[in-house]
A and B are shown apart, each in its own frame.
Chain A
């Protein structure tokens, strides 16, 4: 990722500086050298605001350069659409490597509000943390709320100071949304939707009683922000209603992937007589007559774990070379109270070096909970790997 991003200087603490091995061409600056940094590093101001890497199915993460214009469009819309004030106190639950942290930082500071940086254990004592810090604006993945439900800490009136709440990063189940709204009636709550490629979030669904009482298993993705366009592709034909792959256009849609023409051509298309640039999300949605998008699944194998996009193929790409010609297949399974990765292999192998390789190459959320050896993989009638059978196998231990 450092190579692809053409990184020359790495800023980190001295503790981390000693734990990473980088080629000599990289300049590593720790906190001791930081004060002397300003005259040394030349900053080139380009059109990009930040660069985020997302999981790639071929084993190579994809870099998404997000433009300053795209970010300004997002921040401008959010500032107009929601009543933030300079007396608000915002959560910062998202790690800086997650694009939703950009919302935490800049929406908060744009409103002149106070950003509350939680200690690492705050995720397990979120209700106490919110009360102690007098938080008024909440932003998290839905999994955080599911965790609070499981801890039995989400009781009515538990966080009376909250007045705005946002969820993003993965599907929000209606059951979880109901629990939240029941426990935090003081907050106006919203489900946000948006891939990294479209800058943080591009659609919103207020958690109204109609939504909470509806029959959808997951809360709708809502409508796209003003100035944006959403269509569904069915057999490559765009439509404003019906079910298909969601495609998005508008001022928040970015130009493509960093140094990856193939992926850019696959996912970004110019459609229609005006050659409008559309991003193919890979998300399957049903668009209703009111323009509300309902999530129905993925077009591919991508999964979301605690809001992180994961291509199971990226896990397999790390393990494949260790299997002496054997095969590997990774699936996401409901396990231990949440969605987990489980990897299957079809040859005998010591799993310890496999886990070591995974830990050294991938972020923690992409390391499978288990590696299970099977004699042979199940295949469907058309010779395609039967992932559903693997999921059942994992769930049955």
Chain B
């Protein structure tokens, strides 16, 4: 799965919460931090990461991955899974 496809999948998965916050697709930029912006809570974020692992077949140690503060941004997630 390339970065563009992964971005589309990620945006689709957070669509419910992002639209509830009034965020348009154009506002879902690489530097948007999904946790600190309140788009996702920790449970939804872990669910998203688990979903991306399933979709890409890439196994990650999520605790280690989250040591990098950028990992909770859209760009950080795309970096992790592509």
Q: Is A153 in contact with B63, judged by CB distance below 8 angstroms?
A: yes
A337-B66 in contact given A355-B20, A369-B17 (Cβ < 8 Å)? no
User: Interface size on B (CB < 8 Å)?
Assistant: 22
B48 — which chain A residues lie within 8 A by C-beta? 336
The binding surface of chain A is classed by DSSP as: helix
A388 — which chain B residues lie within 8 A by C-beta? none
Q: Is B41 in contact with A370, judged by CB distance below 8 angstroms?
A: no
Q: Which residues of chain B (10-47) have a CB below 8 Å from chain A?
A: 16-17, 20-22, 35, 38, 41-47
Q: Is B46 in contact with A150, judged by CB distance below 8 angstroms?
A: yes
Chain B 41-82 near chain A by CB (<8 Å), digits 1 or 0? 111111111100000000001110011000000000000000
Q: Which of A118-126, A286-294, A310-318 has 4 or more CB atoms under 8 Å from chain B?
A: A118-126
Q: Is A364 in contact with B41, judged by CB distance below 8 angstroms?
A: yes
The binding surface of chain B is classed by DSSP as: helix
**Bound state CA distance, A235 and B6, in angstroms?**
56
A45 within 8 A of B: no
Closest to A129 in B: B63
Number of chain A interface residues as a range = 20 to 34
A153 — which chain B residues lie within 8 A by C-beta? 61-63
Q: Is B61 in contact with A336, judged by CB distance below 8 angstroms?
A: no
Nearest CB on A from B20, distance (A): 5
A364 — which chain B residues lie within 8 A by C-beta? 38, 41
Query: Which residue, B16, B45, B49, has most C-beta atoms of chain A within 10 A?
Result: B16
A127 within 8 A of B: yes
Q: Is A338 in contact with B47, judged by CB distance below 8 angstroms?
A: yes
Q: Is A128 in contact with B63, judged by CB distance below 8 angstroms?
A: yes
Nearest CB on B from A152, distance (A): 7
Chain A 152-191 near chain B by CB (<8 Å), digits 1 or 0? 1100000000000000000000000000000000000000
A241 within 8 A of B: no
Known pairs A128-B63, A150-B46, A336-B43 / 20 extra A-B pairs, C-beta < 8 Å: A121-B35, A121-B66, A124-B46, A124-B62, A125-B67, A126-B63, A127-B63, A151-B46, A152-B61, A153-B61, A306-B43, A336-B44, A337-B50, A338-B43, A338-B44, A352-B20, A355-B20, A369-B17, A370-B20, A371-B20
- Provide a sorted-by-A list of 24 A–B residue pairs whose CB atoms are within 8 angstroms: A121-B35, A123-B42, A124-B45, A124-B46, A124-B62, A124-B66, A125-B67, A128-B67, A147-B42, A147-B43, A150-B50, A151-B49, A151-B62, A152-B62, A153-B62, A336-B44, A336-B48, A337-B47, A355-B20, A364-B41, A369-B17, A369-B20, A370-B20, A371-B20
